[in-house]
Structure 1
Amino acid sequence: MKCPHQALVALVDGERFLLMRNVGQIFEPKLEKVAEPELDPTNFSAGVDHQDKISQRHGRTDLNELAHGAAATEWLNNQAKTGKIDQIMIIADPKTLGEMRRHYHKELESRICGEIAKELATEPTATIEKSIASA
């Protein structure tokens, strides 16, 4: 997958939110850590579609994790609306990415250069770079 030079890469899961920047080439990403913003996950309406009793009983729904994904999206929306994001790739586990998509503002959507639905937020940088290049 193409990851433009200087594009931000947001790595999100139910607990971690990490921003990196591609300082490499478009097909050979080289990521450097930019920030790990602190979030206040307060949007517990996140995951309202996932609140059925069977999913909760089997541990498939964690409203705290989904609220974290919504909080990360709110943070990214704010950055996009204030012009602090030019291009961004979003990498999140499938459930978090699905929740994030529900909260994208049109300004953020217009800046997304790619999405990867994969759990990579805790992986080493080299693994993340390989995953982007092979996506």
Structure 2
Amino acid sequence: MDIPKGATVAVADGEKLNLFRNTGDEANPKLTATDVEDVANENKGSGARHQSSSANPDSGQIEEDSFAAGTAELLNRKVLGGQIANLIIIASPRTLGELRKHYHQKLSAVLVGEIAKDLTGHSVQEIEKVVSSA
């Protein structure tokens, strides 16, 4: 997958969000970490509407879904504010599914690609390699 120059790459799981900007070009991406504001965790995601039982998410899963919803809210706000023109999202499969439920239409329009893989805690070089080979 080509990473447009200046594109934002969001790497998330249910507890952590890292943002990078491609300061290289499409053929030779170079991801540089950017500051991440705190993710609001008040939105309890899709799992919060249910009482906890054996058939419904436990509190840990609800917290992860809430973090994913907060991550989507933060990304939506940045897209709507003109801070993100091209976006690639890399997230664990479950987190990616929860994120998708909260995408704003404008976020979907600037989405260059998604990768369902947990890469939080991996090096920038590993992330660059995974995106380039996707």
State whether structure 2 residue 98 is matched by structure 1 residue 99. Answer: yes
Once the 2 structures are TM-superposed, how far is the Cα of residue 6 of structure 1 from its aligned partner? 0.9
Q: Where does 1:1-135 land on structure 2 (aligned, <5 Å)?
A: 1-47=1-47, 53-54=54-55, 56=57, 62-135=61-134
1:89-116 C-alpha deviation (Å, 9 max, x unpaired): 1111000000000000001111111111
Structure 2 gaps, min length 5: none
Deviation of 1:48 after TM superposition, in Å, equals 5.3
- The separation in 2 between residues aligned to 1:65 and 1:104, in whole angstroms, is 17
Please report how far the alpha carbon of residue 29 of structure 1 lies from its aligned counterpart in structure 2 after TM superposition.
1.8
8 Å CA contact retained: 2:47, 2:57: no
Counterpart CA distance in 2 for 1:52 and 1:92 is 26
Question: d(CA) in 2 for partners of 1:27 and 1:116?
Answer: 19
- Amino acid of the structure 1 residue aligned with 2:39: L
The 3 A distance-change label for structure 1 pair 47 and 56 is: closer
CA RMSD of aligned residues (A): 2.1
Structure 1 distance, partners of 2:47, 2:98, is 7
Please tell me the residue identity of whatever aligns with 1:12: A
Q: TM-score, normalised by structure 2?
A: 0.89
1:115 maps to a residue whose letter is E
Matched residues, percent identical?
A: 37
Structure 1 consecutive aligned stretches of length 4 or more whose deviation exceeds 2 Å: 45-52, 54-57
Spell out, residue by residue over 1:57-83, the C-alpha distance to the aligned partner (whole angstroms, 9 max, x if none): 7x9x71111110100000111111122
Structure 1 residues 108, 62: CA separation in 2 closer, same or farther (over 3 Å shift)?
same
TM-score, normalised to structure 1, is 0.88
Amino acid at match of 2:119: L
Cα distance, 1:3–1:42 mapped onto 2, change above 3 Å? same
